[in-house]
């Protein structure tokens, strides 16, 4: 019985075409609580899923279908309220529609006002104040100036108890905000260490002075005792004389 040649075997074998990597899932978007935050988290997860599954290279109609499918029933209801045809809307347009719906419009003047009037309170740490400024700056659309403006406001609006920091930080024009914060923390730590050493030194000196005072007091007592003994001896001698 003739066996098929290796060439005929290879001709009969077919290699399946490469397929996108599927797997995982994206839970429906939560429609309770802060919808702005929920949307941003959900959309980030959806984008990661699309990229990992190699679905981000698909045509718009499939990406639109995937997005509406994974958002869930509530998401589909919101889309229907836009009065758009899912067969005609582009993926980019769909995302912008949801952005406009879930993310409230920001008043840049008001957001900038909050940023430029933000000051450190007496109980706030340097890290907490820096974080508060960073958060406020996110809503101001400062662009490339953001880091520089945060640094300026950090130095200018420190609490009065940190006035000595301003003198140290103002000349450091070449530092970025994170470097400025690290330098400020280092200066504070050095100041605390120096203060601790000074207190320790003062305690040591005080202890030595106290010891000296005790020694002097003992010497005075010894001198007084000797004087009293001598007076007694003199009295006895004088009393014995005829």
Helix (H, G, I), strand (E, B) or coil at 6: helix
Average pLDDT over the chain reads 82
Is 4 a residue whose pLDDT tops 70? Answer: no
Question: How does 194-212 read in b/e, with b if 16+ C-beta sit within 10 Å?
Answer: eeeeeeeeeeeeeeeeeee
| 205 or 149, greater pLDDT | 149
The pair of structure tokens assigned to 70 is 């994974």
Give the residue among 167, 174, 125 at the shortest CA–CA distance from 151: 174
- pLDDT, one tens digit per residue, over 53-92 is 898 888 989 999 999 999 999 999 999 999 999 999 999 9
Give the residue among 21, 29, 34, 23 at the shortest CA–CA distance from 69: 29
Q: How confident is residue 124, by pLDDT bands cut at 50, 70 and 90?
A: very high
Q: How far apart are CA 146 and CA 135, in angstroms?
A: 11
Is 177 a residue whose pLDDT tops 80? Answer: yes
- pLDDT, one tens digit per residue, over 188-226 is 988 877 666 565 555 666 666 777 777 777 887 777 777
Give the residue among 86, 73, 26, 90 at the shortest CA–CA distance from 53: 26
Report whether 177 contacts 130 (CB < 8 A): yes
The pair of structure tokens assigned to 221 is 């007592």
Mean pLDDT of the region 32-49 = 92
């Amino acid at each position: 019985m003739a066996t098929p040649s290796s060439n005929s075997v290879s001709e009969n074998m077919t290699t399946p075409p490469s397929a996108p990597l599927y797997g995982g899932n994206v839970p429906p978007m939560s429609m309770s609580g802060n919808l702005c935050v929920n949307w941003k988290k959900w959309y980030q997860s959806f984008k990661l899923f699309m990229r990992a599954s190699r679905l981000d290279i698909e045509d718009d109609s499939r990406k639109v279908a995937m997005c509406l499918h994974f958002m869930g029933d509530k998401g589909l209801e919101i889309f229907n309220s836009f009065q758009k045809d899912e067969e005609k809307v582009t993926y980019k347009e769909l995302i912008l529609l949801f952005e406009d719906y879930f993310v409230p419009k920001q008043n840049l003047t008001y957001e900038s006002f909050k940023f430029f009037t933000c000051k450190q309170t007496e109980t706030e740490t340097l890290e907490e104040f820096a974080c508060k400024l960073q958060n406020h700056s996110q809503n101001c659309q400062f662009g490339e100036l953001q880091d520089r403006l945060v640094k300026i406001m950090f130095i200018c609006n420190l609490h009065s108890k940190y006035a000595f920091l301003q003198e140290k930080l103002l000349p450091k024009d070449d530092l970025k905000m994170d470097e400025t914060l690290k330098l400020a923390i280092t200066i504070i730590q050095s100041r605390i260490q120096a203060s601790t050493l000074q207190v320790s030194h003062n305690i040591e000196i005080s202890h030595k002075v106290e010891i000296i005072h005790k020694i002097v007091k003992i010497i005075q007592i010894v001198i007084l005792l000797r004087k009293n003994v001598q007076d007694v001896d003199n009295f006895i001698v004088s009393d014995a004389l005829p």
